[in-house]
Amino acid sequence: MNAVTTHSPQPARPGHGLTVADAMDPCDYQIADDSTVDQADDVLRGAHLDYLLVRGHDGRCEGLVTRTGLHPFLTRSWYAERTAISSTTHQRGPFAWPTMGLALAAIAMRIKHLAVWPVVDEDGYILGALTADRAAGLLAPDLVVTVPA
């Protein structure tokens, strides 16, 4: 008796083929690394932001600063007025690239415990930011609930 093996086609996986470019948000707010903690706090509060991308003197991405990360520096106003962002502990590279697979980026963000990841071009200039929520939303499988009749 001959056995016939058939392979059913694999369903397309949600998020398959998506890249970071498909999910990143443009970066409307940036701050220079020589700006003070006080200036960064003003921008964060004024624009109601949770993070700012930091650029170096050459315009390349230096990292990302958050309100939470600035908090220890803001407890003493004289310190916040004199401390440059480059002197703070903030998220630094490596960064995501627009051509990186979105699933891979989501895994890297989970491993690194990142809520936001700067996206840069091949020369290190800021293109935008990828949020873990946006990546997860695009990669989530389409859930279809069937109720037996």
d(CA 6, CA 11): 15
CATH topology of domain 20-139: CBS-domain (3.10.580)
pLDDT at res. 83: 84
d(CA 97, CA 85): 24
pLDDT at res. 78: 67
Average pLDDT across each block of 10 residues of the chain; the chain has 149 residues. List them in order. 41 66 92 92 93 93 90 73 81 90 95 94 95 92 50
pLDDT at res. 16: 61
pLDDT at res. 141: 64
Q: Where are the domains of the chain?
A: 20-139
Question: Phi/psi of residue 134, each to 5°?
Answer: -65, -45
pLDDT at res. 33: 93
pLDDT at res. 87: 82
